[in-house]
C-alpha cells in the first residue's frame, strides 16, 4: 500500500474517534444513547495440551478432552482445564461485560504502554534517520523529526498512573463463586472472572472424556453464576469522582494533542516522500 493510501485513510479513524467522543459526552450529560446494533459474537475458544474449551455468552459451551490427557495425575488434568477455560472465559467477559466484572489491569496497561513508547520511539528515530539520509543525498530540505511524540507517550502513561491513584482508595474486592457437579466429583471456584481452583477427584479422572467434560461444564458454569450474583451485589466505597473527572479531562487533552501532532507529522513525512519520489 502506498504512503498516500495510508494518509487518505486517516480521516476514517478520526471520524470513529470523534463519534466515540460524542457518545462519551452524551453519557456524561445524562443523555441515553441509542441502543447499539445487535450483532452475533463469535464463540471464545481456549486450548491447552489436549484440552479445547468453547465459551459463549460467559458460559462454557463445550469441553473436549483428549484421551491422552486423562492418563495424567488429577492436578495436571486440572491445570490444563483451567488454562483452557480461563483463556476462553477472559475473551468472553470482554465481549459481554456485566455489572461486577473486574476492571482493566492498569499496572499491565502501564507496562504495555511503556513498551509501546520505547518501541515506537525507536521506530520513529529509524524513520527519521532514513529520511535524513535520503534528504542529504538529494539535497532536499524538510522537518523529519517526530515532534513531541515522546512527550505524548509520557502524558499517556501519566494518565494511566493518575487513574490508578484515583482508584487506589477503592480497590475492587476479591469475590469468589463456587460450583460443583451433581456427583460432587468436580468442584470449581471462580474469583474475579477467572477459575482459580478446579478440583478433580480420583474418580473424576477415570470418567470418559465426554463425561468429565460435562461435569466440568456444570461445576464451572455454576461457579461463574455464583460469582456473578455475588459481584453484582457487592458494596463498594464511594469513588473519588472529582479525581476521575480530572483524569478523564486530561485523557481527552492527550487524545486531541496526539491526533494533532500525528496529523502534522504525517503531513511532513508525506511532503518529504513526494519530493524524494
Specify the range with the lowest mean pLDDT, choosing from 65-69, 129-133, 195-199, 200-204: 129-133
**pTM of the predicted model as reported, rounded to 2 decimal places:** 0.57
pLDDT exceeds 80 at position 156: no
Distance CA 80, CA 16 (A): 40
28 assigned to some structural domain? no
Distance CA 256, CA 179 (A): 47
Under the banding of pLDDT at 50, 70 and 90, the label for residue 1 is: very low
Report percent pLDDT > 90 for the chain.
Answer: 33
pLDDT at 225: 94
96 assigned to some structural domain? yes
Q: Are 80 and 207 in contact (CB under 8 A)?
A: no
231 assigned to some structural domain? yes
Report percent pLDDT > 70 for the chain.
Answer: 48
Q: Are 85 and 53 in contact (CB under 8 A)?
A: yes
Task: Give phi and psi for 138, each to the nearest 5.
Answer: -95, -10
Among the listed residues 227, 249, 97, 95, the one whose alpha carbon sits nearest the alpha carbon of residue 174: 227
pLDDT at 126: 75
214 assigned to some structural domain? yes
How high does pLDDT run on average in the chain? 75
Q: Provide the residue range defining the domain that includes 51.
A: 41-276
16 assigned to some structural domain? no
pLDDT at 194: 93
81 or 116, which is more confident: 81
Q: How far apart, in Å, do the first and last CA atoms of the chain sit? A: 15
244 assigned to some structural domain? yes
74 assigned to some structural domain? yes
3 assigned to some structural domain? no
Under the banding of pLDDT at 50, 70 and 90, the label for residue 21 is: low
Residue position matching grid coordinates 513525512: 269
pLDDT at 77: 95
Sheet with 44-48: strands ordered across:
44-48, 51-56, 59-65
Averaged pLDDT for residues 142-151: 61
pLDDT at 5: 40
Q: Tally the domains of the chain.
A: 1
Q: What is the DSSP string of 133-179?
A: HHHHHHT-----S-TTHHHHHHHHHHHHHHHHHHHTTSPPP--EEEE
* Overall size of the chain counted in residues: 277
Averaged pLDDT for residues 206-222: 95
Distance CA 220, CA 191 (A): 11
Distance CA 142, CA 124 (A): 16
Chain centroid, CA 164 distance in Å: 16
Under the banding of pLDDT at 50, 70 and 90, the label for residue 163 is: low
Which secondary-structure segment (H or E) carries 275? helix 241-276
Among the listed residues 123, 127, 136, the one whose alpha carbon sits nearest the alpha carbon of residue 269: 127
Task: Give phi and psi for 198, each to the nearest 5.
Answer: -145, 105
Amino acid at each position: 500500500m502506498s504512503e498516500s493510501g495510508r494518509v487518505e485513510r486517516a480521516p476514517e479513524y478520526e471520524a470513529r474517534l470523534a463519534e466515540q467522543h460524542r457518545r462519551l459526552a452524551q453519557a456524561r450529560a445524562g443523555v441515553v444513547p441509542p441502543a447499539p446494533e445487535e450483532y452475533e459474537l463469535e464463540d471464545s475458544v481456549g486450548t491447552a495440551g489436549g484440552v479445547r474449551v468453547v465459551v459463549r455468552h460467559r458460559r462454557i459451551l463445550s469441553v473436549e478432552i483428549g484421551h491422552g490427557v486423562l492418563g495424567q495425575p488429577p492436578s495436571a488434568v486440572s491445570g490444563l482445564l483451567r488454562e483452557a477455560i480461563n483463556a476462553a472465559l477472559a475473551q468472553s467477559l470482554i465481549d459481554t461485560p456485566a455489572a461486577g466484572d473486574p476492571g482493566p489491569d492498569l499496572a499491565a496497561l502501564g507496562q504495555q504502554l511503556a513498551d509501546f513508547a520505547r518501541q515506537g520511539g525507536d521506530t520513529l528515530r529509524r524513520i527519521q534517520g532514513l529520511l535524513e539520509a535520503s534528504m542529504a543525498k538529494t539535497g532536499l530540505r524538510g522537518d523529519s523529526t517526530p515532534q513531541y511524540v515522546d512527550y505524548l507517550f509520557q502524558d499517556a502513561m501519566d494518565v494511566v498512573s493518575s487513574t490508578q491513584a484515583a482508584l487506589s482508595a477503592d480497590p475492587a474486592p476479591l469475590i469468589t463463586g463456587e460450583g460443583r457437579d451433581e456427583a460432587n466429583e468436580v468442584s470449581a471456584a471462580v474469583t474475579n472472572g477467572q477459575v482459580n481452583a478446579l478440583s478433580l477427584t480420583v474418580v473424576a479422572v477415570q470418567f470418559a472424556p465426554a463425561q468429565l467434560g460435562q461435569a466440568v461444564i456444570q461445576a464451572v458454569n455454576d461457579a461463574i453464576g455464583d460469582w456473578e450474583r455475588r459481584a453484582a451485589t457487592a458494596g463498594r466505597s464511594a469513588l473519588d469522582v472529582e479525581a476521575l473527572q480530572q483524569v478523564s479531562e486530561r485523557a481527552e487533552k492527550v487524545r486531541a494533542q496526539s491526533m494533532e501532532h500525528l496529523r502534522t507529522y504525517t503531513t511532513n513525512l508525506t511532503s518529504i516522500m513526494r519530493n524524494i519520489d
